[in-house]
Structure 1
Amino acid sequence: MSSGLGGDPWSNDLDLITSAAQAAGVAALGFFGANPKVRFKTEDRSPVSEADYAANDILKDRLLAARPNYGWLSEETDDDPARLRCETLFVVDPIDGTRAFIAGRDVWCVSVAVVHRGRPVAGVLVAPALKQIYQATLSGPALLNGARLEGAAASGKAQLDVALGEDLLKKMALPARTLIHRVSHVPSLAYRLAMIADGRIDATVVKKNAHDWDLAAADLILARTGGALVDMSSAPLIYNRQSVMHGMLMAGSKHALAALADAGLGDMEGDGTLGH
């Protein structure tokens, strides 16, 4: 699928990462529902499957062959500090939502972003089991399967549909709790942000320890629909730092973020719970 954004300075990169992400998605789909081999990482006990590695290999081979001067950051590749010297790099999650993938749930995606000087400038989410492709560049519209995304409705709702853990909801002050209709957990963080971009939910609250690769592509897609992903002081995220982990975050339409801030959500601190 071509982005159709020929006048955009990052359109060639978007076409490149879209093609690579589609190929990685096809490879991952071959393992989906077929009981792939799984191991658990020693650092956080998160699962990784043979499908994650297969998708990662395709992405790394294709992307770095086409852009050998770009840096590389992937969940499934050992971190190389050389990326910090790169003005531009690929930020990759071969399968965002691995737990869902292993369980046979279809809410998972291949997430690829081009990050330039700390911010995403091209991003794609390919959700093969759902037959969906989200795309955006820094100066172009956000697209879903080639059609422009307009984002969430601006206002007028008595309650906001917010994806967050029940444990976080219980810790919120009463004004924030009464404002929220809790949406059940969406296992892929990247896809959860895409759901805000396409208007299915209004916002999400992200526990601490999300990583660059979970966020970068979806951050841009959401931003190009008028929404935002921010930290609890409402500042945008900076990517490709020495640490690629982030503290507690919130994302939503501008209206939803303003309403949550007014209700005191920004005063919450992360609870230290792993996962997002």
Structure 2
Amino acid sequence: MDEARNIDTRATGIRGDRNKFRLVIDQPYWCAWAVARYGKPLALPVPVPVVVQFIVDHTARVKAGELVIELPKDTDERLVEAGFKGSLGPLKMATILHRLYVLSKLHQLRRVQNPCEDPQVRHLISRARRAAAKRGETPTKKTAATREPLEAMLATCDDSLEGVRDRALLLFAWASGGRRRSEVAAATVDQLRKVDDDLFVFRLHRSKTNQIGNTTPDKPIRGKAAAALREWLARSALQEGALFRRVWKDRAGPRLSPHSVAAIVKRRAALAGVEGDWAG
């Protein structure tokens, strides 16, 4: 399966960290599956029957009271042993949809006939989704930070520079309707305008629902969130660039990544003894 490990996904033309991540992770899986299933690498355009087989191979169905898949056992084992699958058996419906999204996007970029738009494929996916829903398989949702768990996490933040940063980050992330971790990581000092000691205005250039930045809604940050931001800016001496950064002892370092933002939230939740999935 070495062919699947040597794919260049850099020149995809896809914007957005999450979409790039899907391409990097899921495209090699398609190729690994094709090599294991058919003995040859995947080539575009992918025939509709191959996409149908991919769906059938990875979608769970009930047989004799057990969930089974059409993927041959030895092929499944090879994919797991090579590190392309995490475990034997069916994939989650969300994972299958992600991988179909990647295949569809690759066909769009190459401007070739897209098998994912074929009625047969769409019908099969519709049936698979209904079956998954009947089995009780639902997409994993991140836990919403309501007042009580948020206050518990804030209580773990001390007066160190790291604690001051984390307190500001948590309150900023859930101020004015909430910020995604990618938006928190991308926030800059230049996007903040101080109105007074109890109010900042944050200009959100792009968001999940405004990818092209054709509107620039101003988000007010008031009260405790404003006070926490004010203290972080004063202690870190930041005047420009990334708003939230790594902390090296008593000074601010480079910008936090979206993954680092998620790790901070998860760490504070663990310290507070708050259960849930806080990776969003």
Q: TM-score range by the shorter chain?
A: under 0.3
Between Structure 1 and Structure 2, the one with more helix by share is 2
TM-score (norm 1): 0.26
So what's the TM-score if we normalise by structure 2? 0.26
- The structure whose residues are more often strand, as a share, is 1
Larger Rg: 2
